[in-house]
């Protein structure tokens, strides 16, 4: 037999009820580079073909699709291919992975013929109450076989083609397509980069956490009229800023040394260095954070309280946007290596989420990360513009710095004519921005006029060209953002068609589709999936669980938890549980995060962190220990699997 004819996995199924699932698994497993035997109809003839036996003997794993009535025996055992395949796999001690479909009921061992009775001893995977990607991942964990590897960069080109064909990765598990880690040496380099980025993140987290506390203190001072609370916080901020700078200095040195010594990885070294330099600059300028807030929270400062609140809120928004820019920048650095490198880094950086860094959604596509970064930079630019508007034009008391600047200009014999030139240049700049918003093109005549006006005010040709180049870049980014939004609309429309709820979808598939739409920020489609689930009126997903799901997906206030698993039913015939109620959200097991179904451990004596919805619509935090003799519960994820 030729090498190309070898297989790792044999899929056994009954055409009635099992074919669609078998076909789907075959498609996904072959995409993941497993060698799968599926075209069984060509091997099944009047007499059981010996080639089929050879394939089963050749494979290390046999995937058995257990559809409704699939184990009902046929009148003629010699024509019962499904039974014969299972019996042959058991005889040759193959690793059998059963997949239980909807309405399948596993019989007792004594109810099956002796040649397939041992089938009930194998651990199976239930294809309900879970999104398909999660089911697929658990199936793969039970395999002995490993997927084939491709060498970089050929795999990147092939994976890109698959992503495009699949609609920018919608519904595609790309984790096993990219051959990461590449070599032991390169794996070591990725680990070094991860360690360096953890140091960078810890320093930045210290700074951002301190700044957030300062904002909170400013808000308390404004509400109480007591400035001493802010003064104490400002002193603490100064101490924590020094700590953050010391931490970052060491992290910067280590990361810079890494970029000098390691140059054989698909890393954007220039982008990494630029990222590190931008953080250095942000920390250098942080001395102005406390003084800029001091006047805002001073009750004796001659300024309307509403304006001071607007300034504080604007600074908070900018704080959050800067945090998001940091997160997306880190995603971009690791995604340049591979999506797997990014996924691995997320696992070790999960604790950053308490500082608002690397928060959901977790992006994995390089283009999506780039679009998100550009959108965040535009958002920060708009927030800075809003702050300048509040400070510079709407309240004279808050414009002290601007007044001082103008006074310095007067002391330097700046003429009235120069002021008029400044006004003209500002008008030209405003006109350019309006044109870019409306026409999405670079207005060359206006740019030439603006350059001339800048040079008339004393700017050199190089300085004027730099300003014009920034405007051109801004126009380019706006156009790319518009294109991205249009492309995103097309992607969402394809997803809406591909994942539309169907009458024959089981509960688990419907829930998976709701999570897919949630990941893609398509709230109306999420609601539609939930409405379809409500109409099913099934005990697998009662209204009480769906009510909590809607409260989590569309919160009126900030949730006290990031994610968790939702309790949606009890194991029949139980109708209650010692510690759980339908709709509870489990977020921790024995002090460890329980973010997904795989993190949950059902064992007496385990301690669980639970959030339960109260009468006011909020969530109360509970802790409980599981006693002996309790029924199992059905759980679903509240976020889509990576």
Beta bridge partners of 619: 613
**Cα-Cα-Cα-Cα dihedral sign, residues 104, 105, 111, 112:** positive
Q: Which of 82-86, 107-111, 185-189, 201-205 has the lowest mean pLDDT?
A: 185-189
Six-digit token string for 91: 């005889």
DSSP letter at 95?
E
Q: Is 125 helix (H, G, I), strand (E, B) or coil?
A: strand
Q: How many helices (H) and strands (E) does the chain have?
A: 19, 11
- Mean predicted confidence (pLDDT) in 143-172: 42
Q: Is 617 left (phi over 0), alpha (psi -120 to 50) or beta?
A: left
- Mean predicted confidence (pLDDT) in 257-282: 71
Return d(Cα 219, Cα 212) in angstroms, integer: 11
Q: Is the pLDDT of residue 170 over 50?
A: no
Cβ atoms of 62 and 95 within 8 Å: the answer is yes
Return d(Cα 563, Cα 360) in angstroms, integer: 10
Return d(Cα 138, Cα 127) in angstroms, integer: 10
- Mean predicted confidence (pLDDT) in 91-112: 87
Q: Is the pLDDT of residue 247 over 70?
A: yes
Q: Is the pLDDT of residue 250 over 80?
A: yes
Q: Do residues 377 and 248 both lie within one domain?
A: yes
The reported pLDDT for the residue numbered 492 is 84
pLDDT above 70: percentage of residues in the chain: 77
Cβ atoms of 229 and 192 within 8 Å: the answer is no
Q: Which of 641, 554, 633 is nearest to 601 (CA)?
A: 633
Return d(Cα 185, Cα 189) in angstroms, integer: 6
Cβ atoms of 181 and 152 within 8 Å: the answer is no
- Mean predicted confidence (pLDDT) in 572-594: 93
Q: Which of 458, 457, 434, 461 is nearest to 446 (CA)?
A: 434
Cβ atoms of 428 and 453 within 8 Å: the answer is yes
592 inside domain: yes
Q: Do residues 384 and 241 both lie within one domain?
A: yes
pLDDT above 90: percentage of residues in the chain: 17
The reported pLDDT for the residue numbered 183 is 67
Beta bridge partners of 623: 609
46 inside domain: yes
Beta bridge partners of 565: 586, 637
Measured CA to CA in angstroms, residue 337 lies from 22, 293, 326, 359 at distances of: 33, 40, 18, 20
Q: Which of 249-258, 314-323, 438-447 has the lowest mean pLDDT?
A: 438-447
Six-digit token string for 529: 């999936």
Return d(Cα 117, Cα 344) in angstroms, integer: 41
- Mean predicted confidence (pLDDT) in 391-414: 43
Q: Is the pLDDT of residue 464 over 70?
A: yes
Cβ atoms of 412 and 447 within 8 Å: the answer is no
Q: Do residues 204 and 339 both lie within one domain?
A: yes
Q: Do residues 329 and 188 both lie within one domain?
A: yes
Q: Do residues 434 and 298 both lie within one domain?
A: no
Boundary residue ending a domain (401, 424, 454)? 401
Cβ atoms of 568 and 542 within 8 Å: the answer is yes
Which residue range forms the structural domain that includes residue 202? 184-401
Within the chain, what is the greatest distance between any pair of CA atoms? 107
Cβ atoms of 116 and 86 within 8 Å: the answer is yes
Boundary residue ending a domain (498, 520, 550)? 498
Measured CA to CA in angstroms, residue 147 lies from 69, 140, 330 at distances of: 32, 10, 29
Q: Do residues 143 and 194 both lie within one domain?
A: no
- The pLDDT-based confidence of 546 (bands split at 50, 70, 90) is very high
| 0.95 exceeded by pTM | no
Alpha helices in 225-351 (DSSP H): 228-261, 269-284, 289-294, 305-335, 339-348
- Return phi, psi of residue 85, to 5°: -65, -45
Q: Do residues 66 and 107 both lie within one domain?
A: yes
Q: Do residues 135 and 192 both lie within one domain?
A: no
Q: Do residues 252 and 142 both lie within one domain?
A: no
DSSP letter at 350?
G
Q: Which of 40-54, 183-197, 329-343, 486-500 has the lowest mean pLDDT?
A: 40-54
Q: Is the pLDDT of residue 595 over 60?
A: yes
The reported pLDDT for the residue numbered 263 is 56
Measured CA to CA in angstroms, residue 265 lies from 188, 194, 319, 409 at distances of: 11, 13, 33, 51
What is the H or E stretch that residue 126 is in?
A: strand 125-126
341 inside domain: yes
Burial class of residue 535 in the structure, from the number of CB atoms within 10 Å of its CB (0-12 exposed, 13-18 middle, 19+ buried): exposed
The reported pLDDT for the residue numbered 433 is 66
Q: Do residues 316 and 256 both lie within one domain?
A: yes
CA dihedral 32, 37, 39, 40 (to 10 degrees): -150
621 inside domain: yes
What's the 3-state SS for 29-79? HHHCCCCEECCHHHCECCCECHHHHHHHHHCCEEEEEECCCCCCCCCCHHH
- For residue 23, give the CATH number of its domain: 3.40.50.10140
Return d(Cα 298, Cα 41) in angstroms, integer: 81
Domain total in the chain: 4
Q: Which of 173, 13, 206, 230 is nearest to 100 (CA)?
A: 13
Q: Do residues 430 and 397 both lie within one domain?
A: no
Express each pLDDT in 12-38 by its tens digit: 988 888 887 888 888 778 777 788 887
- Return phi, psi of residue 193, to 5°: -60, -40
506 inside domain: no
504 inside domain: no
Six-digit token string for 538: 């099934």
Q: Which of 31, 25, 103 is nearest to 61 (CA)?
A: 25
Alpha helices in 98-227 (DSSP H): 132-141, 154-165, 184-224
The reported pLDDT for the residue numbered 160 is 31
Boundary residue ending a domain (369, 401, 433)? 401
Q: Which of 1, 9, 5, 3 is nearest to 59 (CA)?
A: 9
What is the H or E stretch that residue 19 is in?
A: helix 15-31
Return d(Cα 426, Cα 421) in angstroms, integer: 9
Q: Which of 152-166, 490-504, 562-576 has the lowest mean pLDDT?
A: 152-166
166 inside domain: no
Q: Do residues 212 and 236 both lie within one domain?
A: yes
Rg (CA), the chain: 30
What is the H or E stretch that residue 635 is in?
A: strand 633-637
Q: Which of 158, 197, 195 is nearest to 176 (CA)?
A: 158
The reported pLDDT for the residue numbered 627 is 94
The reported pLDDT for the residue numbered 140 is 86
Residue 525 makes CB contacts below 8 A (sequence gap 6+) with 496, 499, 517
160 inside domain: no
């Amino acid at each position: 037999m030729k090498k190309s004819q070898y297989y790792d996995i044999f899929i056994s199924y009954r055409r009635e009820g099992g074919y669609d699932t078998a076909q789907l698994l075959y498609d996904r497993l072959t995409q993941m580079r497993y060698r799968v035997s599926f075209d069984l109809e060509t091997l099944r003839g009047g007499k059981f073909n010996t080639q089929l036996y050879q394939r089963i003997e050749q494979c290390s794993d046999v995937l058995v699709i257990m559809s409704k009535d699939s184990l009902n025996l046929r009148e003629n055992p010699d024509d019962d291919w499904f039974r014969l395949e299972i019996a042959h796999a058991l005889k040759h001690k193959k690793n059998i992975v059963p997949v239980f479909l909807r309405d399948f009921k596993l019989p007792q061992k004594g109810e099956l013929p002796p040649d397939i009775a041992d089938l009930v001893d194998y651990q199976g995977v239930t294809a309900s109450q879970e999104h398909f990607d999660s089911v697929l991942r658990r199936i793969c964990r039970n395999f002995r076989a490993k997927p084939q590897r491709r060498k970089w960069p050929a795999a990147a080109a092939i994976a890109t083609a698959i992503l495009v064909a699949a609609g920018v990765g919608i519904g595609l598990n790309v984790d096993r397509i990219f051959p990461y880690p590449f070599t032991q040496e390169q794996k070591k380099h990725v680990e070094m980069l991860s360690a360096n980025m953890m140091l960078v993140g810890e320093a930045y987290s210290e700074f951002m956490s301190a700044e957030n506390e300062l904002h909170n203190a400013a808000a308390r001072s404004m509400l109480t009229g007591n400035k001493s609370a802010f003064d104490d916080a400002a002193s603490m901020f100064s101490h924590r800023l020094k700590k953050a700078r010391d931490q970052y200095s060491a992290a910067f040195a280590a990361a810079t040394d890494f970029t000098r010594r390691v140059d054989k990885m698909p890393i954007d070294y220039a982008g990494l260095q630029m990222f590190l330099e931008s953080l250095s600059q942000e920390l250098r300028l942080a001395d102005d954070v406390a003084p800029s807030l001091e006047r805002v929270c001073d009750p004796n400062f001659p300024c309307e309280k509403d304006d001071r609140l607007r300034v504080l809120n604007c600074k908070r928004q900018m704080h959050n946007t800067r945090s998001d820019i940091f997160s997306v920048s880190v995603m971009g650095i690791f995604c340049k290596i591979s999506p797997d490198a990014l996924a691995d880094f997320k696992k070790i950086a999960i604790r950053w989420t308490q500082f608002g860094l690397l928060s959901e959604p977790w992006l994995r596509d390089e283009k999506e990360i780039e679009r998100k970064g550009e959108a965040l930079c535009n958002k920060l630019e708009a927030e800075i513009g809003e702050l300048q508007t509040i400070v510079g034009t709407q309240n004279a008391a808050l414009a002290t710095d601007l007044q001082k600047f103008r006074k310095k200009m007067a002391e330097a014999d700046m003429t009235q004519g120069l002021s008029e030139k400044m006004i003209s240049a500002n008008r030209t700049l405003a006109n350019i921005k309006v044109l870019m918003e409306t026409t999405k093109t670079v207005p060359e005549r206006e740019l030439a006029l603006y350059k001339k006006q800048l040079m008339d005010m004393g700017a050199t040709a190089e300085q004027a060209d730099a300003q014009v180049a920034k405007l051109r870049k801004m126009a380019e980014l706006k156009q790319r953002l518009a294109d991205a939004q249009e492309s995103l609309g097309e992607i969402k429309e394809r997803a809406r068609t591909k994942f539309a709820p169907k009458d024959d979808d089981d509960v688990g598939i419907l829930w998976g589709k709701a999570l897919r739409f949630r990941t893609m920020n398509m709230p109306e489609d999420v609601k539609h999936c939930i409405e379809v689930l409500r109409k099913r009126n099934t005990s697998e997903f009662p209204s009480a669980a769906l009510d909590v799901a809607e409260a989590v997906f569309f919160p009126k206030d900030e949730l006290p938890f990031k994610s968790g698993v939702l309790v949606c039913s009890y194991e029949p015939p139980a109708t209650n549980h010692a510690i759980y109620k339908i709709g509870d959200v489990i977020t921790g097991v024995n002090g460890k995060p329980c973010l997904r179904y795989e993190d949950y451990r059902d064992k007496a004596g385990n301690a669980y962190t639970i959030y339960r919805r109260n009468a006011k619509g909020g969530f109360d935090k509970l802790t409980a220990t599981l006693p002996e003799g309790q029924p199992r519960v059905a759980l679903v994820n509240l976020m889509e699997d990576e």
